[in-house]
């Protein structure tokens, strides 16, 4: 079945704000907006100077690509030099929704969006506020196919924002003024989109999963009739693929269920304050300074709550955050990818 991740009852933005935001984008300015995955920091995807402002604001490496967001009625053929049949199948199945496709970049599109590569990452978000903004912006473009380049609206490498307040805390001041942030409630998916590379089909390289997410490899395989391959050394660079990423400022560690008790005991003995995130139920009493935090053993709910929880724990004065490692099942692949990269920042 098609995966149409919705907006979870997100607040409707005022039409005047949508128009103002679209006009700001057309002027080369930045706007933060909600999607069903996380909040994005957006700029005109055809304006290299505006895209450079994203990189400067986030302190993002210049060779780290961003994803281009399209309205449902925008022609992806304006942005990609080739739309293979496999891409059309996946668009029909999962767009609008949390799936990014890496395709050959059209020559007219600046390589600033892809970190200098000849590919481009495209997705069509399902959040209604994002869709209205993208449509309003497209109307302002002479060719009617405007799109917004938008990585997550946070400082590079940090925990992605899933509500407007998270964005405000990341960018209290931008270029001497407040960043315009469109309100849209809490993100329903909660982790970044799945990224699938289809840019090398003409070289005999089939679909390659570059970042797992809400749209699982099993569901992609159902549509394409083949399982995506693992990333290879020649795969395009994509957002969120660095070894260390999505990290809070508080040191974060992972542990299997059987190792938790010993780590908790050692932390308590050392007088450390530690939050221990476990699945389904707290194991029992804990030493002073150790707090259990229980999340359901449901990968969809876990993903939805993960980043907001990490931000909350990050501001609570803990010395460490310890996460019980979720199951290795394929349905947990997106979550496991994010928390493994978060922990790698402290390895």
- The pair of structure tokens assigned to 303 is 């993903």
Q: In what order do the strands lie in the sheet with 320-324?
A: 252-255, 320-324, 274-279, 290-295
Given a cut of 80, is residue 10 above it in pLDDT? Answer: no
The reported pLDDT for the residue numbered 188 is 97
pLDDT tens for residues 22-31? 999 999 999 9
Higher pLDDT, 17 or 239: 17
Strands (E), 99-193: 99-104, 119-123, 148-149, 180-181
Burial letters 230-256, b for 16+ CB under 10 A, else e: ebeeebbbbbbbbeebbbbebebbbbe
What CA–CA distance (Å, rounded) separates 270 from 252? 17
pLDDT tens for residues 69-104? 999 999 999 999 999 999 999 999 999 999 999 999
Query: What element of type H or E holds 89?
Result: helix 85-94
What CA–CA distance (Å, rounded) separates 103 from 171? 31
Mean pLDDT over residues 128-156, rounded? Answer: 95
Query: What element of type H or E holds 255?
Result: strand 252-255
Secondary structure letter of residue 105 according to DSSP: B
Please give the domain boundaries of the chain with CATH numbers for all domains. 15-224 (3.90.870.10), 252-344 (3.40.50.11030)
Q: Which candidate, 301, 125, 330, places its Cα nearest to that of 222?
A: 330
Given a cut of 90, is residue 62 above it in pLDDT? Answer: no
What CA–CA distance (Å, rounded) separates 39 from 153? 6
pLDDT tens for residues 270-298? 999 999 999 988 888 888 899 999 999 99
Given a cut of 80, is residue 12 above it in pLDDT? Answer: no
Q: Which of left, alpha, beta for 12 (phi over 0: left; psi -120 to 50: alpha)?
A: beta
The reported pLDDT for the residue numbered 3 is 39
Computed over every residue of the chain, the mean pLDDT equals 93
The reported pLDDT for the residue numbered 242 is 83
Q: How confident is the model at residue 143 (pLDDT cuts 50, 70, 90)?
A: confident
Mean pLDDT over residues 227-242, rounded? Answer: 91
Higher pLDDT, 310 or 12: 310
Higher pLDDT, 241 or 127: 127
pLDDT tens for residues 175-218? 667 899 999 999 999 999 999 999 999 999 999 999 999 999 99
Mean pLDDT over residues 243-263, rounded? Answer: 91
DSSP string, 269-297: HTT--EEEEEESS--S---TTEEEEEE-S
Given a cut of 70, is residue 11 above it in pLDDT? Answer: no
């Amino acid at each position: 079945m098609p995966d149409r991740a919705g907006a979870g009852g997100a607040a409707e933005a005022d039409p005047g704000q949508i128009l103002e935001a679209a006009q700001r984008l057309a002027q080369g300015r930045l706007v933060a907006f909600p999607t069903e995955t996380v909040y994005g920091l957006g700029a005109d995807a055809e304006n290299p100077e505006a895209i450079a402002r994203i990189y400067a604001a986030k302190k993002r490496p210049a060779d780290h690509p961003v994803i281009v967001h399209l309205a449902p009625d925008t022609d992806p053929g304006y942005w990609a030099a080739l739309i293979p049949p496999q891409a059309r199948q996946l668009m029909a199945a999962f767009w609008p929704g949390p799936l990014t496709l890496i395709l050959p970049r059209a020559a007219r599109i600046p390589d600033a969006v892809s970190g200098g590569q000849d590919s481009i990452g495209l997705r069509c978000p399902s959040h209604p506020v994002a869709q209205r903004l993208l449509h309003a912006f497209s109307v302002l473009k002479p060719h009617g196919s405007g799109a917004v380049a938008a990585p997550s609206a946070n400082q590079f490498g940090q925990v992605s924002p899933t509500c407007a307040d998270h964005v405000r805390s990341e960018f209290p001041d931008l270029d001497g003024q407040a960043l315009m942030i469109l309100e849209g409630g809490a993100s329903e998916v909660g982790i970044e989109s799945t990224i699938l590379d289809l840019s090398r089909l003409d070289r005999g390289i089939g679909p390659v999963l570059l970042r797992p997410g809400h749209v699982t490899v099993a569901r992609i395989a159902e549509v394409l009739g083949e399982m995506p391959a693992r990333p290879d050394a020649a795969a395009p660079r994509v957002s969120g693929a660095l070894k260390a990423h999505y990290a809070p400022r508080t040191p974060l560690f992972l542990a299997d269920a059987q190792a938790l008790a010993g780590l908790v005991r050692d932390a308590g003995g050392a007088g450390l304050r530690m939050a221990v995130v476990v699945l389904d139920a707290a194991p029992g009493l804990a030493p002073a300074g150790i707090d259990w935090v229980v999340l359901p053993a449901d990968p969809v709910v876990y993903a939805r709550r993960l980043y907001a929880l990490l931000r909350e724990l990050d501001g609570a004065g803990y010395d460490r955050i310890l996460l019980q490692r979720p199951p290795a099942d394929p349905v947990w692949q997106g979550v496991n990818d994010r928390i493994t990269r978060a922990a790698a920042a402290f390895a």
